[in-house]
Chain A
C-alpha cells in the first residue's frame, strides 16, 4: 500500500439518498446518492452535485440505511394479488358506443 493509505479513514461517511423537487407542484423524485458526514452536509453536497443547473427548488435527503426495500426475488409473490384483477381498470367494462360521457 502507498503512503497515501496511512491517513485514510477506515470507513466512508454515511450514504444518503437524494430526492429533488424540480419545481413547485411536482413531487420529490429520487436522483441519486452521496456521502456526507451529517444531514446538513448532505443537503449542501446535494445542491452542488445534483442542482448545478437549477434542477430543483427543494431537496430531501435521508440515510440510505433507513430505507426498507422489497426483495426483488420475491417480486412475483409480492405483486401477485394484483395480477388477476383487471376489473380495476376502466377498459374492463363494455359500454355501448351510444352511451356518452362515461
Chain B
C-alpha cells in the first residue's frame, strides 16, 4: 500500500510537470519522460504482481493526459515494466547506470510503439523527422533517471520500503 501511495504521488507530480512545462519550454524533447523512469524503477527493484499492476495504472493515468487512444500508454508502460523486470532478474547488478540505459531505450521504443499501435506499422515510415527529438528526449530522460532513482530511494527509505529487489 505504501508503495502504491508513493508511486501515485510521484506519478501525479510527474504528469503535472510533463503537462505544465511545455508552456515554458517550446522544445518538448528537453522534457524528461518521468513516467518511464518511475516504471523502470518499479521493474528493476520491485518484483511482484502489484508493481506490474502499478505500472499499468501509471500508463493508464498517462492516457488520461496524453494521446487519443486510451490503453496505449498502459500497454507501453506494462511492456517497459516487463523488460526492466527481465533485465533485473538476469543481471547481477541493477544500478542507476543500467536503469538509465533501460530508460533511454524505453523512451524510444515506447514512442515508436505508440505510433505503430495507433496508426499502424506503416506510419513508422513517417517518423523520420521525430527521431532526432526522440533521441534527445531519451538522452535527457536517461540523464535525469539517476536523480529520480535517488529521490525514489530516499522516499522509499522514509516510507520503510525496500530499496533493492529481492533475488528470487
Partners in one complex: no
Chain A residues near B (Cβ < 8 Å):
none
Chain B residues near A (Cβ < 8 Å):
none
